[in-house]
A and B are shown apart, each in its own frame.
Chain A
Amino acid sequence: MKRAIRILSRNPLSALGLGLVVLIVLAALLAPWIAPYPDHNGAVVDFLNNNKPPSARNWMGTDLVGRDIFSRILYAYQTSLVLAVVVLAIATPIGTVVGLIAGYLGGWTETILMRVVDVFLSIPPLVLALAMMGVLKPTLTNAMLAVTAMWWPWYARLVYSIARSEREEGYVLAAEVIGAGTTHIAFREILPNCLPAIITKMTLDMGFVIIIASSLSFLGLGVQPPTPDLGSMVAEGANYLPDSWWLTVFPGLAILIAVFGFNLLGDGLRDVLGVDR
């Protein structure tokens, strides 16, 4: 912990990352209290004040039905963060188990599992998620499902490559000699050595999941209105460029800032945890 603080203080960029992440998480959690117009996350319209540029009343302007864009961005952060956390909470364990089994057991299990992983990885992530969303109804739950389905293979591959190199290490061989079971070796001996890499990747992936999820809703295949979502806000506003620039620019920057924060933090963690990839 001390080491972490030392590294953070030595590396201003990582500190900035941590700061941004904390800020965004707080903004999302406290949205109902800090949003100037907390009811604007739902079915509210105010056509007397629609499509107004930024002002003292609405810091980021109002959208086409008169809702406060700043308030909606705060709520959209809730959507994004919940989605990212749920996706990673499901994808990581699945990928980890597959990777561990393939990496430690080797042989046919390895070949079959890793070919399956290869199949998933040879379709661009967004395309796979799009194809799945094409089949499913566009809801938050289904978006999570589609993103999860394309995400676990990346963890499988990460854990697999570590597990494969670890399985020849002395401590694993020692454990095998004293007759430890396969499950024990995989989860108690090898897994802990994968954790730093997994945690770093999860931090970086928070950002990437946000990117993919907002891309889905940008194309109209993600979260549906009136639920605030950064991707759909950009998509709607794009119709009104360049006159009503605030409709797109602020939600776009909101995505950029959130993902940037997680990336900086992930970078810092990589150094702290000594992960080299």
Chain B
Amino acid sequence: MRSIVRLLAHRLLVAAVVLVGVSMLIFGIARVIPGDPARIALGPRASAEQVADLRAQMHLDEPIVVQYGHFVADLLRGDLGTSLYTNRPVTTDIAQFLPATLELVIVAGIMMIGIGLPLGMLAARYRGRFADHLIRLVSLLGVSAPSFVWAVILVLLFAYFLPLFPIAGRISDSYTVPTVTGFLLVDTLLAGNIRAFGNAAWHIVLPAFALALSGIGQAARLTRANMVETYDKPYIEMAQAYGFFPARIARIYAFKPSLIPSLTIIGLDFAAMLGSAFLVEAVFAWPGLSRYGVAVILRKDLNAIMGTVLIIALTFVIVNIIVDLLIAFLNPRIRHSTRSSA
């Protein structure tokens, strides 16, 4: 147990270093933007004095290092500034839009594991046979298109031509659900409204699946590769020689060890999904952070861009810590050595 604590401490330290780096990187990118942020904020009718005042207020006239210092100080107080786009504090905007995106990504993540891992196990068990080839083909197809292409294809097939699913939004208008967590699937249950829950779940299926498809392919391919590798290990051959049931061998002896490398990649895929959510949300009019992100990027809304990217990086770092801890629990050997960054 103590080694787990040490591992966690180490991971947190690395995460902190990474986040400082991320903040510098983003700050660097944001300060390259041409044009005067103060002028942009105030609009065309503002006087030169007003602009000068705001420049001073935004510390724009000070050296870049000092500006970064102010930026970090504000950050630590939880102040990400005001969005020029919505005229509201960036933290308010993010708090409003993040849950929708996280909900989408989490459901997609569950689909990725729930569909990808079994597919990979099946492929490994029927290695070289038809099922294996089919799964390989399908999973490769899944990785081979950006999620917006999948989103468009799925919408066309299952919302337009075969109207099984809604084409946009998170929930039908007729349901009003009090916001508690911002996760509709949770809030509807908290409100005890089963119909609303069903409606929200029904809305999330297509976008989450479009988002998950490449991850499903990735997870299946990886699980297959790792299980094939462990199948070749002597202990499995031994188990087979002892006449254990194939399903039991697959589950206990081959699956668990091969889960570990899969988990690492799943952590990475989660990050990729946070990015791809930008594309899926555009197709499904999903009111999430990504849509906000694109809007503020197009608007060159500095505070909001920095806030959005930071939050996404933070989410990603947290997920990776969780993944690391999971791996440590699964594999006693790793508990005692720290994982390389690979």
Contacts and interface: CB of A to CB of B under 8 A. Distances in A.
B341 A214 contact: no
A131 B297 contact: yes
Interface string A191-221: 0000000000000000100011011001111
A234 B148 contact: yes
A122 B316 CA distance: 6
A134 B271 contact: no
Interface string A128-162: 10111111000000000000000000000100110
B297 A234 contact: no
Interface stretch (B63-71, B109-117, B305-313): B305-313
Contacts of A132: 29
Interface residues of B, number: 55
A120 interface: yes
Interface size, A (range): 35 or more
A212 B144 CA distance: 11
A8 interface: no
B146 A211 contact: yes
Given A118-B341, A130-B297, A131-B309, A255 B22 contact: no
Interface string B131-171: 00100110011011110110011011000110000000000
A127 B136 CA distance: 29
Given A122-B18, A123-B313, A215-B279, A135 B274 contact: no
A238 interface: yes
B179 to A, nearest CB: 26
B309 A13 contact: no
A223 interface: no
Interface in B10-29: 14, 17-19, 21-22, 25-26, 29
Contacts of B316: 122-124
Contact of B22 (A119, A164, A241, A259): A119
5 contacts: A119-B25, A122-B320, A252-B153, A263-B143, A267-B140
Which 4 pairs show the lowest CB-CB distances between chains A and B? A124-B275, A126-B275, A119-B21, A134-B297
